[in-house]
Structure 1
Amino acid sequence: MKKTLIILSLFLSFQLWSQETLTKAQWQEDLRFIQNTIHNEYSHLFVKTTKDIFDAEVETLYKDIPNLQEHEIIVGVSRLLSLFKYGHTYISFHQKPFEFSQLPFNLDHFNDGIYIQGAHKNYPEAVGAKVIAIEGKPISEVLKAIEPTVEAENSQFFKAYGINNIRYPEILHAQKITKTLQNNVTLTLEKNGKTFSQSFTALEKGKRVPTHRGYVHQNENWLDARDQSITPLYLQKLDKIYFSEYLAKEKVMYVRHSRIRDEAEESTKDFYARVFNEIETNDVEKLVIDLRLNGGGNNYLNKDVIKEIIKCEKINKIGKLFVIIGKRTFSACQNLVNEIDNYTNVIFVGEPTAENINFWGDNRPVTLPNSAIDISLSYLWWQDKPALENADWIAPSIPVTMSFNEYASNQDPVLQAALTFNKKDFKPKPMDYITSLYLSGQTQKLAEELSKMIQDPLYAFCDFETELNMLGNILLQSGRTQQLQASTQVFSMILQLFPNSAITYKNLSLAYLKLGNTQKAKELLHKTITLDADGDIGKSVKKILLDIKK
């Protein structure tokens, strides 16, 4: 037995040694394996990038590999996978023997900047400080440099999950924030009106910053910037997947739901059945479901939540049901948010979600032949809404963000907005209302309502210009004469409201082209160029004009 263990130990040591000393040719073979696997088995991922762009980046990395260190190659692979911009398609930086180290702090993005939310107890002065620069480079420049290494579906994903790539010295070096791979990194910080430098030493490899639901929580070794004397509801009982509390003063039932999973002692189905029974039998005027920290799980559990909401006539009314979303609302929780939006009279509060409305999720590990590193590639398409309604995220009807001071002092402006909201005749889905007026032929009322809503700060969350153009494009794309004529009416109406809208002039010109009125189309195309001569819209219009001349 002893001899067997010695042989096994030697074998494992040799295996680790051989992995740690891969030749450049072996890394290049692994890169080709990634390229071929994606083309042959995961070509569905080519949605937000093209095969040509991906292959060009592969060739660049392939040629660079002989001059790169191993961590730079791994970061190079992360840049490749991040081209797809799906949060479930990525490479983990925590794979032995190529595991990256971490600097001992946790960053959070607030509406007034990026702050050190938590850090190891050895750096008390840094906790709660605003990050100004890293190794002398402005934080804006650093964020721009690390963004290509993040599998960000949208800017919210980057704010929540991506900015902490700054914690990895290997990424800072590979993205040229530091000149060499270094164990100590200096941050320029601002706190209490003073600017100072703080050098951080990386944790031992294998040790990570202990975050839970995105936060470092204070204990004997780690410090949190938040005042510890009280804890706001959204951060209470984080050991629980979900919990509820009746707020008697406000007559509100509050639910914090932080994973799409069952608790061992009470299933999702039983939990929501109990909550809605309490709602029916008590003096409850509103329900607030807080999903801002929910990063997903098993979306087959979502149905039980939706069914309970739909059944409860007391709550399933505009102004009675509020769902808090934010930059950590992701994956199976995006599915939950989509379904709540589809089937209930919800008002969303907070920030946009971290996931696209429809997305490629559920990944498989693919093991590279030489390094034995796993990459995660998405294989399952999730579509809860029609393709025409796909977007970067679900946006809130009541947009509310949080400042660092609000976090540090345990204020919760997001929940407060839900508790105090009491606007009569509010339209949480303004475009549904506008579309209904259009379809019913109420043109005069449509013009009046649109003008009022565009000017009303309450509807600032809605990009009416973009949404109305989407409506016009649905008609434009049909190709039928009647719909094409209707699209010209829609685009003309948009121009009355947004007279300098280059995209609308372009769309109107395309409608006239399809109707055969080339002269009118040319006039509109030239107007578009005057509004966006050097932009993407202007460039595309110049190409259309050249094609017309041919």
Structure 2
Amino acid sequence: MKHHTIKLVLLPLLFLLHTGILLAQESLTSQQWQEDLDYLQERVHNDFPSLFKKIDQTQWDTEVAKFRDQIPNLQEHEVKVGLTRMVSLFEYGHTQITFSTLAKDAVLPINLYHFEDGIFIEGVQNNNKSVLGAKLIKIGNTPVADALKAIRPVVPVENDQYFKAYGLRFLTVPSILHAQGVIPEYSENVSLTLEKDGKMFTHTFTSVPLKEVSRDYGFTIPNENWISVRQQEETPLYLKKLQEKLFFFEYLEDSKTLYVRQSSVFDDKEESLKDFYKRLFAFIDANDVEKFVYDVRLNGGGNNYNNKPLIKGILARPEINKRGTFFYLIGRNTFSACQNLTNEIENYTEAIIVGEPTAENKNFLGDAKRVTLPNSKIHAYLSFAWWQDMPQWENKDWTIPHLAVAMTFNDYVTNQDPVLDAAVNYTETNFILNPMEHLTQLFMAGKYAEVKSEAVKIANDDAYRYYNFEEEFGAAGYRLFSNGNIEGGLYVLELITQVFPESTSALYSLASSQEQAKQLDNAKKNYQKLLALDPNGSLASTAKKRLAKLNK
């Protein structure tokens, strides 16, 4: 009888638990989703007003209101993607609804990587091995360039490098592809147009749960289910011991180069960073090191308080902290606390910086707090701490390398490392590390012919391809002009139009400055050039108005 009583008590309890699970799994109503959006909006305004740096409150609220009105007509996955877009509008990588929130249940079984020569399938599950190494051409009927534009608003994009490093994952999620209009109907089977060995073909992939994907640091980790296009007979230094150690160093006898890879600013489970630095500098003090190469291309951050011992150790050793000896390798995964480290390297050391730009703004919002939406229980991570290592007027979208080098698909497949090679093989030939400083010195010395010839050479040199010369030189021209050096300012602004003859913004800047300087004939001529170059562009309407006023 006692046993029977227990059963009678448990049955209603089990029924209630089962019913609760079913209710929890039911889709939310439009009103409940709108309540979540309202809660997010309220928390942002009340607790995270510092997020309004790249987008102002009015703009963001307008986008939120527009999305709120759309919710009743959206499917659940479209609402989740829409919420992610609202958070990504702040354009800070730490401020996000995580990728796994959207991709947890269904992701294509491929790993994409954006090499210098295109986007390729870097890794796949075994049952799709025929497409390994293929170049991505289309998703559904959408060309890859258009697909990238479509998904970009969902990614918490800090800059273009962040998108390269972390955004391509979003191309592999069917729910995002549908919500952003890349594919017309939601399906867990998605067809890609690919190119391999000179042949174009279509392949349909069936989605798998995200937990089945085998990758880290953007690259495939081969196992019994996943294969990588990279030849596995050897491992380049930047990938060596990547799954075993967060940091290591190796001495290259032939070139007397000490190579260091640090892929985190957190302590390793087997060694703290402080102890690692102590061991590293002891090795430097005891050995003949002609080149010191510090590689943070795969370093996504950690605790920036760990950076100090490294900086102190480098500054205490002038024999390695000198131009042509110390090389610092950065790339698309250099982010967060490693951006702080990069700022310190740039500010205080003599390092030549090599590679691709970083994924983080120089000054940035980090240290996100979790905000849980009341109905869906979706977690939004919102940043609150402003990290400012540079004066505000020196803030940039990223740190650019002194020497620009990137990896091609074939480099990766064959285990080549052109970035490391550029550092190891570098010889001091008075390479211009700071183009603006160099041109400014020539200008101040009155060497105007050299300013022009050097400006043209630098603007067309692939080693400076990440350097926004037009913007930097334009800002210098404006400073001269606004500080009373009218002739010098106009000279620089006119020079920009010669270096960049297709730039309407350069023509507009020159014409408007000439107008202010009462050089009206010259101003008219350059407004007319602008209109001839791009009669329907964004500056055309303003140029027409200015020209009409001058012709009165």
Same fold (TM over 0.5): yes
Aligned-residue CA RMSD (Å): 3.1
Amino acid at match of 2:51: L
User: Given the superposition, is the C-alpha separation of residues 367 and 9 from structure 1 closer, same or farther in structure 2, using an over 3 Å criterion?
Assistant: farther
Please list the CA deviations of residues 450-476 of structure 1 after superposition, one character each: whole Å capped at 9, or x if unmatched. 455456555555443321112223345
Distance in 2, matches of 1:133 and 1:349, equals 32
CA separation in 2, counterparts of 1:322 and 1:427? 15
**1:366–1:375 contact (8 Å) kept in structure 2:** yes
Find out whether 1:78 has 2:84 as its counterpart. Answer: yes
The one-letter amino acid paired with 2:293 is V
1:33 alignment partner, one of 33, 36, 39 = 39
Per-residue deviation, 1:528: 4.1
Please say if residues 524 and 547 of structure 2, whose CA atoms lie closer than 8 Å, have aligned partners that are also in contact: yes
Match of 1:124 among 121, 126, 129: 129
> What one-letter code is carried by the residue in structure 1 that aligns with 2:508?
K
- 1:60 pairs with 2:66: yes
Distance 1:292 1:13, change over 3 A: farther
The answer as to 2:317 corresponding to 1:283 is no
Shift of 1:161: 0.6
SS at structure 2 position matched to 1:163: helix
After superposition, the Cα gap between the structure-2 partners of 1:521 and 1:333, relative to the gap in structure 1 and judged at 3 Å, is same
Specify which of 17, 23, 33 is matched with residue 23 of structure 2. Answer: 17
Q: Which residue of 2 aligns with 1:533?
A: 535
Q: For residues 384 and 58 of structure 2, what CA distance do their matches in structure 1 show?
A: 21
Return the offset for 1:325.
1.3
Among 75, 89, 95, the alignment partner of 1:89 is: 95
1:507 and 2:509 correspond: yes
**Cα distance in structure 1, aligned partners of 2:19 and 2:309:** 50
Q: Find the counterpart in structure 2 of residue 209 from structure 1.
A: 213
Seen in structure 2, the aligned counterparts of structure 1 residues 284 and 527 have a Cα distance that, compared at 3 Å, is same
Spell out, residue by residue over 1:316-366, the C-alpha distance to the aligned partner (whole angstroms, 9 max, x if none): 222111111111111221221122111112222221211222222221111
Supply the AA of the counterpart residue of 1:315: I
Change (3 A) 1:8 1:107: farther
1:237 and 2:241 correspond = yes
Give me the whole-angstrom Cα distance separating, in 1, the residues matched to 2:490 and 2:158.
Answer: 33
Give, as a single letter, the amino acid of the residue that structure 1 aligns with 2:322.
K
Aligned to 1:155: 160
The Cα shift of 1:91 comes to 1.1
Matched, 1:379 2:384: yes
The secondary structure found in structure 1 opposite 2:293 is strand
Instruction: Give 1:159's aligned amino acid.
Output: K
1:354 correspondence with 2:356: no
- Equivalent position of 1:112 in the other structure: 117
Q: Does the C-alpha gap of structure 1 residues 545 and 397 become closer, same or farther in structure 2, counting only changes over 3 Å?
A: same
Counterpart CA distance in 1 for 2:523 and 2:220 is: 58
**Distance 1:111-1:39 versus aligned 2 partners, 3 A rule:** same
1:122-521 equivalence runs, <5 A: 122-204=127-209, 207-238=211-242, 239-438=244-443, 446=451, 449-450=454-455, 453-454=458-459, 458-459=463-464, 461-476=466-481, 480=483, 482=484, 486-495=488-497, 497-498=499-500, 501-511=503-513
SS in 2 for 1:391: coil
* Residue type of the alignment partner of 2:26: E
Query: In the alignment, is the contact (CA less than 8 A) between 1:19 and 1:370 conserved in 2?
Result: no
CA positional deviation for 1:534: 2.8
SS at match of 1:62: helix
Amino acid at match of 1:421: Y
Tell me the percent identity.
46
Q: Which amino acid in 2 is paired with 1:80?
A: M
1:15 Cα offset (Å): 6.2
Amino acid at match of 2:316: K
Instruction: Structure 2: give runs of 5+ residues left out of the alignment.
Output: 1-5
Q: Which amino acid aligns with 1:232?
A: P
Distance 1:379 1:549 in 2: 52
Given that 1:86 and 1:151 are in contact with CA atoms closer than 8 Å, whether structure 2 keeps it comes out as: yes
Call closer, same or farther: CA 1:453–1:517 in 2, change over 3 Å: closer
Partner Cα distance (1:302, 1:9) in 2: 56
The whole-number CA distance in structure 1 between the counterparts of 2:315 and 2:299 is: 21
SS of 1:363 mapped into structure 2: strand
What letter matches 1:224 in structure 2?
A: S
The amino acid that maps onto 1:386 is P
- Counterpart-to-counterpart distance in 2, 1:329 and 1:498: 31
Give the Cα separation in 1 of the matches to 2:534 and 2:200.
41
The alignment covers a number of residue pairs equal to 545
Q: 1:492 and 1:188 mapped to 2: Cα distance?
A: 46
Deviation of residue 165 (structure 1)? 0.8
Contact 1:19 1:371 in 2 (8 A): no
Change (3 A) 1:395 1:498: same
Any conservation in 1 of the 2:27–2:76 contact (CA below 8 Å)?
A: no
SS in 1 for 2:100: coil
Cα distance change of structure 1 residues 530 and 302 upon mapping to structure 2, 3 Å threshold: farther
| Conservation of the 8 A alpha-carbon contact between 1:475 and 1:484 | yes
Residue aligned with 1:94, SS: helix
Give distance in 2, aligned partners of 1:264 and 1:462: 39
**Distance in 1 (alpha carbons) for counterparts of 2:430 and 2:30:** 65
Q: Once the 2 structures are TM-superposed, how far is the Cα of residue 28 of structure 1 from its aligned partner?
A: 1.2
Q: Provide the TM-score with structure 1 as the length reference.
A: 0.89
1:46 to 34, 48, 52: 52
Deviation at 1:524, TM superposition (A): 4.8
